[in-house]
Amino acid sequence: MNAIELTNVSKIYRRYGGRQFATLKSALLQRSILRDLRASETFPALTDVSFSVPKGSTYGVIGRNGSGKSTALKLVAGITKPTTGQVRVTGRISALIELGAGFHPEISGRENVFINGIMLGLTKREIEERFDEIVDFAELTEFIDAPVKTYSSGMYMRLGFAVAIHVNPDVLLVDEVLAVGDEGFTHKCLDKFAEFRRRGKTILLVTHSLSMVERFCDEALWLDGGRAQGHGDPRRVVDAYLSAVEKSEDVLLATTTAKAVAAVSVAPVENPPPAPAAPETAQPEGELRDMFKAVEGRWGSREIEIAEVVLLDRDQQPSFVFHSGDPMSIRLRVVAHTAATDFVFGVSLFNIDGVCCYGTNTFIEQMDPERLEGEVAVTFAIESLDLVEGTYKLDVAVHTCDGYPYDYHRLLYTFRVKSRTPDAGIYRPRHHWTFSGPVTFRAADAAKKETKEQD
Amino acid sequence: MFANLAQLIRYRGLIQSLVARELKARYRGSVLGFLWSFINPLLLLSIYSFVFAVILPDTHSAAVEPYALFMFCGILPWTWFTSALSESAGSLISGGNLIKKVLFPAEILPLVNVLANMFHFFLGLPILAVFLIYYQRWPDPWDIVWFPLTILVQLIFTSALALGFSALTVHFRDLRDVLSNVLTLWFFSTPIIYWIKEAPGLGKQVLDLNPMTHIIVSYQEILFFRGPIGHWRWLLATGVFSIALFLACYWLFDRLRDSFAEAV
C-alpha cells in the first residue's frame, strides 16, 4: 500500500514575461486580460516524474539546487497542482516546508500555536491536549505568552517545528528544515523522526544532507533538471548523484583549464611552435580565468614544448576529479623542435592556497639526460593520491639542468580531490586505528539497521 | 466550485480563529485597545457633524434632522464596507506565505477581512443605539426584522467584491490604488451624507443602479425614519443581485486559484 503516488507528473511554471508592468487598464483596453493571465513563457520544473512511497517508509529526495525537489514536495502537499499527471496521497499530511508560516507577529506564542495548529488541520481540543507537549518540545515555556515578534529566529522556528510535528500526520513532508536549532534541538528532531518511523508513519524528506538520506531513508529519489535520474537504494542513489556532481565538476574544471592554457598560449614567445597547446582554445574567456590569473603563467623558449597535459584516472581515462587514495597519472605530450641533450622534466602539486604539496623533477631524482628528439609522451604516475579533499593545481615544466626554461606551465591545470572523510590538512598518510581494551564502535550499517529494528 | 464552497464550512473553525486573531492583533500594543472600535466611528461622526452642522448648516432638509443621527446610520455600515474591501484587496498578497507554504483555502483570507470588519460594525451598533435612545427614535418593531436581513445582504455583497478584488489584485497590483479612489467616489455616489429624496431626477436613477444605495437606504429607513420600511423590494432585489455577484466572483476566484501560489 502506497502512501504517496506520483504518476507521470509534470509541473510547468509559467513565467509572465513583461507582465510586471502591465496594468488592469491596459489589459482591459487591449482586451488581453485572459491572454495575459496565460503564460508567455513556461519553465518545466518537473518532467514526467513518477514515484511511490510505501506506507510507513522514509523516502529521500536529493538533487542540486533548482532540480525540482521543492516543487515535488509542494505537489505532494497539494499546495500546487500538477500540470499533467496524478498525485495521490493517502492520509493526513503535515508539511514542514516553511516553519511558522502564518504566525502573526503581534499576538502571543500561545495564540499562534492554536491558530497554526488549526491551519494545519487540528481541532481546538486536539491542540489543547497537546499544548504542553508542544511548548515543552519547543523549549519555550517561559516565553509562550510573549508576542511572537519578540522571538529570536531560532525560537520562531522551534515553535513552528513543534506545532507541525505535533499535528500527528500520517504523511510528514520535510523540506530542509532540520537546521532550525542548536545541536540539542536537532537531535530531538531526529528522535522525533525515529519515533514517527516506529509508529509506521510515512516521511518524505527533501534534503541536501546526503548522510541523512543514507542514514534515515529506506529509498531515495534523485532529481536533476526536473527529471528523475534514479531511485531505489539510498546508498546507490547517493553514489550515482555524487558521481554526477563529479562529472559536472569535471566539465567545469576542463573548461577552466582549457581557458587558462589558452590564455597564456596565445602570445607566442620566440621561435613559435606550429601548433598551440590546448585543444579547447575556442572557449571564450570568462570570469573563471580571472580567478587564476594572478598566479598562472607560461613561459620558456619552447625549443622543447609541452604540447598537452592530461590527467588520467585509474582506467587511463582523462579526468579532473579524483578520489583520495586513487591512482593518478600526469601525462605530458612533449615535442622537441630541436634535438636536445640537456633536459629535465618537473612536476609539482599545489593546493588552492598556493602551498606546494609535492614537487619533484627528473634532475632531483638523479636521472641523467642523454637525448630527446621528436614527439614523446612523459607520464608521471602517482600510485595513490593521498591528499585530503580540495582543489589542487599543477605545475609542469621542461627545462635545462641549470634552470633555463624550455616550457614552463605554472598552475595552469586544476583538478579536484574528493573524499568522503572530512579530515583536515593537506596530506593523508595511509593509516589505520587500533585499540586495545574494551573500546568498540558501531559500524555505520549496523547503526542504520538498529533504527530500523525499532520500527 | 460548489465543492470548494462547501469546504469552507469545514474551515469555519479556522475562519473563526483568524477573525479573532485579526481583531486581537489590530489593537495589540495600543493604549485604548478595543475602545478604538468605538472611538473611530465617533470621531468620524463628529467630523461630519461639525462640517454639516456648523460650517454648512443649511444643506439638508428638515426631514433628516437630527442630521448627525441620519449620517451615522449610513456611515457605520459604509465603514464596514470600505475597510473590508480595502483590506481584503491586498489580503492574498500579504498572506502569500500561507498560500505558498501551507495547504490552505485562499478564499479564507479575504473573507476574514470582511468578517473582522463586520465585527467592528457590530461594536459600533451600541453607540448607534445610545444615539437612537438619546434622540428618542424608536425603530418600528417590524422594521427591526429587516435589520439582520440588510446586514446579510451587505455581507454577501461585500464578500463578493472582496473575493473578486483580492483575486484580481494578485495579478494586477495597481487595483489597490484604483480601489481606494473608487471607494471615495462610491462614498459620494451613495446617499450617506445626503438624503436620497433630495437627489435630482437623473441623479436618483443613477443612484438606483448602485447596490450600496439600497443597502444604506434600508438601514436609514429601518433605524432613522419612522413608519414601515418602504424600500424592501429594492433590498430584496439587491440581495438577489448580491448572491449572483457572489457566485460570479467566487467562480472567478476559483478559476484563478491555482495561479495564486505562483503569482503572489
Domains located in chain A, CATH noted? 2-243 (3.40.50.300), 268-418 (2.70.50.60)
| Among B13, B100, B262, beta carbon nearest to A124 | B13
Least confident of A384-393, B78-87, B97-106: B97-106
Q: Is A239 an interface residue toward B (CB < 8 Å)? A: no
Whole-number pLDDT of residue A21: 47
Confidence category of residue A30, pLDDT binned at 50, 70, 90: low
How far does CA A431 lie from the centroid of its chain? 28
Whole-number pLDDT of residue A280: 37
Count of domains observed in chain B: 1
Q: Is B14 an interface residue toward A (CB < 8 Å)? A: yes
Confidence category of residue B113, pLDDT binned at 50, 70, 90: very high
Location of C-alpha cell 581557458: A259
Q: Cα separation of B99 and B93, whole Å?
A: 9
Whole-number pLDDT of residue A329: 93
Confidence category of residue A344, pLDDT binned at 50, 70, 90: very high
Q: What domain range is B40 assigned to?
A: 2-263
- Average pLDDT of the residues in B130-138: 85
Whole-number pLDDT of residue A100: 73
- Average pLDDT of the residues in A29-53: 71
- Average pLDDT of the residues in B95-120: 86
Alpha helices in A56-182 (DSSP H): 69-77, 109-119, 124-138, 153-165
Share of chain B above pLDDT 70, in %: 100
- Average pLDDT of the residues in B199-220: 87
Q: Is B187 an interface residue toward A (CB < 8 Å)? A: no
Q: What is the 3-state secondary structure (H, E, C) of A199-221?
A: CCCEEEEECCCHHHHHHHCCEEE
Statement: residue A231 has pLDDT above 60 = yes
- Average pLDDT of the residues in B242-248: 95
Q: Cα separation of B45 and B35, whole Å?
A: 16
Bridge partners for A52 per DSSP: A5
Across the interface, whether the CB atoms of A23 and B174 are under 8 A apart is answered yes
State the best of A104, A122, A125, A171 to mutate against chain B, taking most chain B CBs within 10 Å: A104
Confidence category of residue A285, pLDDT binned at 50, 70, 90: very low
From A219's Cα to the closest Cα of chain B, the distance in A is: 25
| Among A77, A97, A118, beta carbon nearest to B13 | A118
Statement: residue A452 has pLDDT above 90 = no
Question: What is chain B's mean pLDDT, rounded?
Answer: 86
Q: For B30-75, write each residue's pLDDT tens digit.
A: 777 778 877 888 888 888 888 887 887 777 777 777 888 888 889 9
Statement: residue A266 has pLDDT above 70 = no
Q: For A304-336, write each residue's pLDDT tens digit.
A: 999 999 999 989 988 888 989 899 999 999 999
| Among B28, B102, B256, beta carbon nearest to A102 | B102
| Among A14, A111, A118, beta carbon nearest to B14 | A118
Which residue on chain A is closest to B13 by alpha carbon? A118
Structure-block grid coordinates of residue B108: 479564507
Which residue on chain A is closest to B100 by alpha carbon? A79
Phi-psi region of A104 (alpha: psi -120 to 50; beta: other; left: phi over 0): beta
> Helices (H), strands (E): how many in chain A?
11, 18
> Would you tell me how many other CB atoms lie within 10 Å of the CB of residue B165?
24
Statement: residue A7 has pLDDT above 50 = yes
Statement: residue A32 has pLDDT above 70 = no
Least confident of A116-125, A277-286, A294-303, B88-97: A277-286
Residue A195 to residues A36, A183, A192, A229, A235: CA-CA distances in angstroms?
Answer: 49, 18, 5, 30, 23
| Residue (of A246, A286, A264) closest to A410 by Cα position | A264
Confidence category of residue A38, pLDDT binned at 50, 70, 90: low
This prediction has a pTM of 0.70
> Helix axis angle, B108-134 relative to B12-27, nearest 10°?
60
Statement: residue A276 has pLDDT above 60 = no
Q: Are A179 and A209 in contact (CB under 8 A)?
A: no
- Average pLDDT of the residues in A163-178: 82
Whole-number pLDDT of residue A455: 44
From B105's Cα to the closest Cα of chain A, the distance in A is: 10
Whole-number pLDDT of residue A37: 54
Whole-number pLDDT of residue A284: 39
- Average pLDDT of the residues in B114-121: 92
